Amino acid sequence: MFASLSDRITGSFKQLRGKGRLSEADVDGTIREIRRALLEADVALPVVRQFTASVREKSVSALSSQALNPAQQVIKIVNDELVEVLGGDTRELNFASRPPTVIMLAGLQGAGKTTLAGKLGLWLREQDNKVLLVASDLQRPNAVNQLQIVGERAGVDVWAPEPGNGVGDPVQVARSGVEHGRQNHYNVVIVDTAGRLGVDEEMMEQARNIRDAVNPNETLFVLDAMIGQDAVQTSIAFRDGVGFTGVVLSKLDGDARGGAALSVRGVTGVPVLFASTGEKLEDFERFHADRMASRILDMGDVLTLIEQAQKAYDEKEAEDLAEKMAEGTFTLNDFLAQLQQVRKMGSMKKMLGMMPGMGQFRDQLENFDEREIDRVEAIIRSMTPQERRDPKILNGSRRLRIAKGSGSTVQEVNSLMDRFEKAKTMMQHMSKTGGGAPGMGSLP
């Protein structure tokens, strides 16, 4: 999903990384790259313009505020803007105060409406709703049958016109379906409607008539994320022709370039509520703008991490620390202080889990013992100030005393000292190369 957009945008940060100071020209270079990436991903032009203008303005003002790590600031600004474009906070479905809640599905033929009816049905049923699917798509041959199959798989009931009744009247089916739902105490009635291969007035009129007949609490517009640039026009046609209260992006599992996802909210003003990510009923999720942005930026949840770090560290402290790391004058005392800061940020396990690329270490992470930090602290606290400053003086008898004092073993003391020396060398190296975690510059 969004692989190439993701590569392009994260690639555009590379030129910022490792720079202590950024100029406007640096920012402009990155923004030019982002602009190209968005256009190539078929994001609508007005959305691209708004996006890049806003990122530029905020980045330039961050530059002038002499922020601690300008590259990180720019990345955060891009992330926040992505979240904004993708719709900000996730909105909940609107439920009727008196059931049944009526949800109408609209969209082009092949967008994934019938499939979605099943997915949504299953999802709602799992939340203890009694769900009825109504087959008002009488246009496409086999659509009624398909809805029945999907309903059965989802374990929800289906209201369909009697077979052999000819073409039938979709508006009538919708009305009687909702009435059946009301009388039989269904909480949610999902009305599947017909689509066409292209937008046409007859389809819009039928959808409007169904809408007026059932008075839905939500009209969900199902948009195939794979249709690229047509997404914008189709969305506008449906907004003006039928109107909708939420968007469902389907086929996000394919190699969708991202344009539809990034444009639809900006162009129509209506939020994306769900994402459909495969042909199976389970391939369905709430659409979270922030998580989607994280996926696009390939960042794990580094932003929360940065925010927590910003809360725990004051800038002066962080600068001193970075300097010590770079010079190799980082002592065990600094390490102890550092541990205490890190603690302020919350659970170590959770923090490590927010690092990008940590997915592959999930098992090790699970086994991480928070008490390890207590042991390390106890060992350092059992050292004299001189020992903390200059660990080279730690001979065998000193190590034995420290082990006894901290309730640990000499091996544990040795192992900590080993790791400390290694970490010190690594930190020095990282400070020099400006490396660190991908996309992060050097996090204090």
Sequence-distant (≥ 6) Cβ neighbours of residue 81 within 8 angstroms = 51, 54, 55, 58
The response to whether 193 counts as a known ligand-binding position is yes
Sequence-distant (≥ 6) Cβ neighbours of residue 95 within 8 angstroms = 101, 187, 188, 217
Distances (CA, A) of 305 to 80, 96, 348: 14, 39, 11
Smaller CB separation from ligand GDP, 70 or 107: 107
The response to whether 192 counts as a known ligand-binding position is yes
The response to whether 118 counts as a known ligand-binding position is no
The response to whether 182 counts as a known ligand-binding position is no
End-to-end CA distance of the chain: 31
Task: Please tell me what DSSP assigns to residue 220.
Answer: E
Smaller CB separation from ligand GDP, 6 or 277: 277
Smaller CB separation from ligand GDP, 8 or 113: 113
Least Å distance between CB 108 and ligand GDP? 7
What is d(CA 30, CA 376) in angstroms, rounded to the nearest whole number? 42
What is d(CA 419, CA 391) in angstroms, rounded to the nearest whole number? 12
What is the signed CA dihedral for 248, 251, 253, 259, rounded to 10 degrees?
-70
Smaller CB separation from ligand GDP, 178 or 223: 223
What is d(CA 294, CA 304) in angstroms, rounded to the nearest whole number? 11
Smaller CB separation from ligand GDP, 110 or 346: 110
Least Å distance between CB 279 and ligand GDP? 4
Least Å distance between CB 160 and ligand GDP? 14
The response to whether 121 counts as a known ligand-binding position is no
Least Å distance between CB 28 and ligand GDP? 38
Q: Which string of b and e fits 236-274 if b means at least 16 CB within 10 Å?
A: ebbbebbebbbbbbbbbbeebbbbbbbbbbbbbebbbbb
The response to whether 253 counts as a known ligand-binding position is yes
The response to whether 72 counts as a known ligand-binding position is no
Judged by the rule CB under 6 A, the positions of this chain that interact with ligand GDP are 107, 109-115, 195, 250-251, 253-254, 276-279, 283
Smaller CB separation from ligand GDP, 109 or 304: 109
The response to whether 344 counts as a known ligand-binding position is no
113-126 helix and 143-154 helix, angle to the nearest 10 degrees: 20
What is d(CA 151, CA 121) in angstroms, rounded to the nearest whole number? 8
What is d(CA 104, CA 175) in angstroms, rounded to the nearest whole number? 12
Least Å distance between CB 104 and ligand GDP? 13
Least Å distance between CB 203 and ligand GDP? 12
- Residues in the annotated binding site for GTP: 107-114, 192-196, 250-253
- Residues in the annotated binding site: 107-114, 192-196, 250-253
